[in-house]
Amino acid sequence: MEIVGTVIELREKIQVWKKQGQKIGFVPTMGYLHEGHLSLVRESKKRSNLTVVSIFVNPMQFGPAEDYKVYPRDLERDRALLEREGVDLVFYPPVEVMYPEGYKTYVEVEDLQDKLCGKSRPGHFRGVCTVVLKLFNLVQPDEAYFGWKDAQQVIILQKMVEDLNLPVKIVALPLVRDHDGLALSSRNTYLSPEERRAALVLKKSLDLAEKLIIEGEREARKIRQKMIELISAEPLARIDYVEIVDLKTLEPLETIGDQALIALAVFIGRTRLIDNLRIISGGIEK
């Protein structure tokens, strides 16, 4: 497995592979990898001839008061994990390679970017779309793999690919949970043991929503209210949002029909965690 950090090195490799007609799978990450990331890598290995992983903590998607500086980083650990998975190439660029001085070009997916997480993280999805489009242009993957953990990110990137006619297929895979149900996230490392326990309230609220839906409840307002009550009973939790929205437009739903996204963001202490479940063709996807 090779690690490259410059555009020239990456392009050289990709050009050779493209000439050979190889199917390239791509997993963009910010590093500090966990089983969620590795599940994406494994799917890419299954479906593609060659797998490229990028590790880049993208400053553009962090707000000024957010955790860019302290975001966990451990290249050696990541390298060992990716090597073990049989990844072919890792792109690990420094910030100056992605955003040289005088950088001026940005990608925005209007409307969708301002909803849910976009409300409390203005500019976040502009940063995500900009970096992902740059990475797509560099890696030229046939398929790119993302986790449903970041459901809004998946929906926005699918729209970007559609609107800009990008020749890449977005493959979204189920989120991966720890043994106790907490959705895996590199940010879980910020949690103290007490916060870690409190963080289970996110999953519990989704379990409650699922139970209500299975029992026949379809009124979004009622389900949302019950979820909010449950989370509010946890002293360490502060709700950012709990929303039940259309899976494509992210517009709030009054009634849950064939499809829906139930998404939430909750601060546990100072750590903001997200989780969700999706209803597709009337069935619950977790």
Q: What does the binding site for ligand PAF look like in residue numbers (CB under 6 A)?
A: 28-30, 58, 61, 128, 131-132, 150, 153
CA distances from 208 to 120, 225, 255 (A): 25, 11, 17
Nearer to ligand PAF, 28 or 93 (CB): 28
Report, in Å, the least distance between residue 131 CB and ligand PAF: 5
SS3 of 138, please?
helix
In the chain, alpha helices (H): 7-19, 35-47, 75-85, 95-98, 117-120, 124-139, 151-163, 193-198, 200-214, 220-232
Q: Closest separation between CB of residue 55 and ligand PAF, Å?
A: 9
CB of 219 to ligand PAF, least distance (A): 32
Catalytic residue among 34, 37, 124, 179: 37
Rounded to an integer, what distance in angstroms lies between the CA atom of residue 171 and that of residue 154? 9
Could you tell me the two tokens for 2? 């090779």
- Distance from C-alpha of 239 to C-alpha of 230, rounded to nearest angstrom: 11
- Which CB atom, from 124 or from 224, has the smaller least distance to ligand PAF? 124
Q: How far is the CB of 221 from ligand PAF (least distance, A)?
A: 31
Annotated catalytic, 37?
A: yes
**DSSP conformation class of 269:** T
Q: Is the Cβ–Cβ distance between 266 and 272 less than 8 Å? A: yes
**Cα 27 to Cα 43: distance, rounded to the nearest angstrom:** 10
- Taking the least distance from each CB to ligand PAF, the nearer of 17 and 32 is 32
14 or 128: CB nearest ligand PAF = 128
Q: Residue 174's closest CA among 140, 200, 147, 194?
A: 147
φ, ψ dihedrals at 96, nearest 5°? -65, -25
Nearer to ligand PAF, 30 or 245 (CB): 30
Residue 260 CB, nearest distance to ligand PAF (Å)? 22
3-state secondary structure of 134: helix
- For the annotated catalytic residues, the residue numbers are 37
